[in-house]
Amino acid sequence: MRIRAITLRILRQFIHDKRTMALMFIAPLIVLSLMSLVFNGDAYEPKIGVSGVPLNISAALKEENTTIKEYASEELGKSALVEGKIDALITLNGNVGNSGVIPQVLLEGSNPTANKAVIMTLQKLSQKLLPSTEEQLQLQPQISYLYGSENMKTIDRFGPIMIGVFVFFFVFLIAGVSFLRERTTGTLERLLSTPLKRWEIVLGYVCGFGIFTVFQALLISWFSIQILGIMMTGSFGYVMLITLLLSMTALTLGTLLSAFAANELQMIQFIPLIIVPQVFLSGLFPLDTLPLWLQRIGYATPIYYGSEALMNIMIRGKGWNSIALDVYVLIGFSLLFMVLNVLALRKHRKM
Amino acid sequence: MGSEVPVISVSHVSKAFGDKQVLEDISLQVERAETFGILGPSGSGKTTLVKLLTGIDEVTSGEVKVLGVTMPKLSMLQQIGYMAQSDALYTELSAKENLEFFAALYGLKGAERGKRIKAVMELVDLQEHLRKRVDQYSGGMKRRLSLAIALLHEPPLLLLDEPTVGIDPVLRLSIWKELKALNEKGTTIVLTTHVMDEAEKCDRLGMIRDGKLLAADTPTGLLEATGSASIEEAFLYYGGVRS
């Protein structure tokens, strides 16, 4: 009897909380469909640049599932590689062997999936064009890496992204819940009955959590690089800067969204809606295999910019110029969320 | 000075949340240094009225003036000490940390801050528990700490929403003594209550029911006008419930 009463009460609570109910049913569908889109994305098509390669080879390359771009000089090809427009550059300059010219393959290298795809294509090609195993061995392309190396592990690729994701996730949740608690415990109303201005509350939160997140960023970056041994070729200072900016974005977004949650449970419901999709679209999987509309959503998520910058710093060892845009975008997100936060507080006090 | 501006002047105020009319055409005035009690059953609109006085909420129609200034006005909040119905305290902090935080919000600094914290904690008889975390406080202690915070910056106007709920009779008596002492110093107090015997201690009373102000007068005035022996009877008289 008592069990029945409890069962009934829980069912009634669910019925009263339509959002929790919707989340239980709909959120898994959203996440699953996103996963299926990501994992069933078309096989990765490597983009290969060629320079000074005989026509028959580039024609054969085109027959494989690749995108071929021809460059007039090796320099042009290299700069395209640095900009990330192509995954590999094949040249035939130099070293003349006994029975031909050994192809030189320079891989961009930061994405193990793309590396593998290029090497597979080349293997298929050499089997097709060169009849004997001997020739195949002799004319084995020489592979070198612009960034990374053949020893690069998957974790080296995922590491920078995961740093971004975890920093974002925890700051989002903790900041969101603590701001929510201000509302549910009545302290927010109490704050608003003092001469405190709305933007002062928002800024106070940013500063308070800001100090806390500096240490968090320091700890997470240090742990990932020193303890987990994730590949790190760039500046530690930049890694700190990006993790810190990501935390700021997470903090301001978390406090903003807490205005739309009635309790802690509803705050947690934002995880599958706000965090999980960002993880999938963060560059963990190559974005260009996804449908265009999904790619565009990716460009609107903070984690995307954070992990792009972190990859540029940690894997490619790049400097300020290549992360500047990401830095500005993250600052922009934080400022936007802060302004929206101040506006959202109008709900509680107009002045 | 001659005709002094009333501390609070509420004229034809209505408040609706969506379709729900919570307050209807309320007009009242509170003079300097008096204790004005808002009496009414729960759900009658007492808290809403107090929030309009603080300026946290805005009127749907009508006008609220505090010390002659139309509310809501941010700068007026410095003149008001507000005690909410729920204890808005940071329970993971100590009482001292809570007091320091709110003192800072009202711009109290240095030695003055320390002096005020000591004074208000003595007033509510919590000086021994200053360093205790608030989550170890009893319900009554939290209520008293909330009151202490409202008194911190010595505001000329105190708005207290159910200040004595959960406080035992002995302490309630001493709190009333302090409120009266504040009155004598010139502080105006507006408080809500649904405890009838407490209502008799107010200088004047406003009776609210279903968002309407039924009457506003001194306790004796109300008794005489209704020919009742107690405030409770008078309240029932105005509420249209007569035995």
pLDDT tens for A76-89 read 888 888 888 888 99
Q: Would you call B87 and A192 a contact, using CB atoms and an 8 Å cutoff? A: no
Per-domain residue ranges of chain A: 47-145, 154-347
**CB-based contact, A350 to chain B, within 8 Å:** yes
The number of angstroms, rounded, from the C-alpha of B185 to the middle of its chain's C-alpha atoms is: 17
Cβ-defined contact of B72 to A187 (cutoff 8 Å): no
Residue B51 pLDDT class (50, 70, 90 cuts): very high
The Cα A217–Cα A196 span in angstroms is 30
Is the pLDDT score of A94 beyond 60?
A: no
Is the pLDDT score of B172 beyond 80? Answer: yes
In this predicted structure, what is the pLDDT of residue B227? 85
Flag whether residue A97 sits within 8 Å of chain B, measured between CB atoms.
no
Averaged pLDDT for residues A58-76: 84
Instruction: pLDDT band for A100, please (50, 70, 90 cuts).
Output: low
- Report percent pLDDT > 70 for chain A: 95
| B78/A195 CB distance under 8 A | yes
- Phi–psi pair at B216, nearest 5 degrees: -145, 115
Whole-angstrom CA distances from A121 to A61, A84, A90, A128, B205 are: 8, 19, 12, 11, 89
Predicted confidence (pLDDT) per residue in B129-164, tens digit: 999 999 999 888 898 899 999 999 999 999 999 888
Name the residue in chain B with its Cα closest to that of A201: B105
What is the pLDDT of chain A when averaged over all its residues?
A: 84
Cβ <8 Å between B77 and A187: no
Residue B12 is predicted with a pLDDT of: 93
How many CB atoms are closer than 10 A to CB B126?
Answer: 20
Using CB atoms within 10 A of its CB, is residue B128 exposed (0-12), middle (13-18) or buried (19+)?
exposed
Question: What is the percentage of chain B residues whose pLDDT exceeds 90?
Answer: 51
B84 neighbourhood in chain A, CB within 8 Å: 186, 189-190, 193
Instruction: Give the residue, A17 or A318, on which the prediction is more confident.
Output: A318
Residues of chain B found within 8 Å of residue A192, distances taken between Cβ atoms:
56
Domain borders along chain B are 8-238
Contact B84 A193 (CB under 8 A): yes
pLDDT of residue A306: 93
Residue matched to tokens 């400097």: A319
Average pLDDT rounded to a whole number, residues B96-105: 91
- Max mean pLDDT range (A62-66, A262-266, A274-278, B157-161): B157-161
User: For B73, phi and psi rounded to 5 degrees?
Assistant: -145, 120
- CA–CA separation, A89 vs A91, rounded Å? 7
A16 or B53, which is more confident: B53
CA nearest to B59 within chain A: A350
d(CA B49, CA B10): 10
What CATH number does the domain located at A47-145 have?
3.40.190.10
Q: Any chain B CB within 8 A of the CB of A190?
A: yes
Mean pLDDT of chain B: 88
Chain A residue with minimum CA distance to B90? A187
Predicted pLDDT at A333: 96
Distance CA(A265)–CA(A262), nearest Å, equals 8
Strand intervals (E) in B5-79: 8-17, 20-30, 35-39, 61-66, 69-70
What is the dihedral sign for C-alpha B53, B58, B62, B63?
Answer: positive
- Overall average pLDDT of the B75-92 stretch: 90
- Asked if A195 and B56 come within 8 Å (Cβ–Cβ), the reply is no
Work out the end-to-end distance of chain B between its first and last CA atoms, rounded to an integer number of angstroms: 47
Torsion angles phi and psi, residue B148, rounded to 5: -55, -40
Tell me which DSSP letter residue B152 carries: T
Torsion of CA B148, B149, B150, B152, to 10 degrees: 90
**Span of A13-22, A77-86, B21-30 with lowest mean pLDDT:** A13-22
pLDDT digits (tens, 9 = 90+) for B173-229: 888 888 999 999 999 999 998 787 788 889 999 989 889 998 888 988 988 888 888
Interchain proximity B72–A190, CB inside 8 Å: no
A334: distance to nearest CA of chain B, Å? 25
What does the pLDDT average to over B10-34?
92
Would you say residue B29 has pLDDT above 70? Answer: yes
Tens-place pLDDT, residues A105-149? 888 888 888 888 888 888 888 888 777 777 777 777 888 888 877
Give the total residue count for chain B: 243
Residue A346 at interface with chain B, using a CB cutoff of 8 Å: no
Contact A14, A21 (CB under 8 A): yes
Least Cα distance to A159 among A118, A115, A112 occurs for: A112
Q: Is A197 on the interface with B (CB under 8 A)?
A: yes
Query: What does the pLDDT average to over B7-11?
Result: 93
pLDDT of residue B2: 41
Q: Which tokens hold the place of B221?
A: 């005035």
| Residue A58 dihedral angles phi and psi, to the nearest 5° | -65, -30
pTM: 0.81
| A47 phi-psi bin (left φ>0, alpha ψ -120 to 50, beta other) | beta
- Give the pLDDT confidence score for residue B3 in this predicted structure: 55
What percentage of residues in chain A have a pLDDT greater than 90?
15
Q: What is the model's pLDDT at position B243?
A: 45
Q: How far apart are CA B85 and CA B105, in angstroms?
A: 20
Tell whether the model's pLDDT for residue A95 goes beyond 70. Answer: no
Q: Is A131 on the interface with B (CB under 8 A)?
A: no
B204-209 sheet: strands from edge to edge: B80-83, B157-161, B188-193, B35-39, B204-209, B212-217
> Does residue A197 surpass a pLDDT of 70?
yes
Q: A41-50, A168-177, B70-79, B93-102 — which is least confidently predicted?
A: A41-50
For domain B8-238, which CATH number applies: 3.40.50.1820, 1.10.10.10, 3.90.1150.10, 3.40.50.300? 3.40.50.300
How far are the Cα atoms of A277, A296, A307 from residue A299, in angstroms, in the given order?
12, 5, 12
pLDDT at B1: 42
Contact A156, A231 (CB under 8 A): yes
Q: Check CB contact under 8 Å for B56 and A349.
A: yes
Is the omega angle on the peptide bond into residue B72 within 30 degrees of 0, that is, cis? yes
- pLDDT over threshold 90, residue A254: yes
What is the predicted pLDDT for the residue at A241?
92
Three-state secondary-structure class, residue B28? strand
Q: Which region among A168-182, A315-329, A333-347 has the lowest average model confidence (pLDDT)?
A: A168-182
Contacts across the A-B interface (CB distance below 8 Å): 48
Place of tokens 């109303």: A189
pLDDT (0 to 100) of residue A341: 93
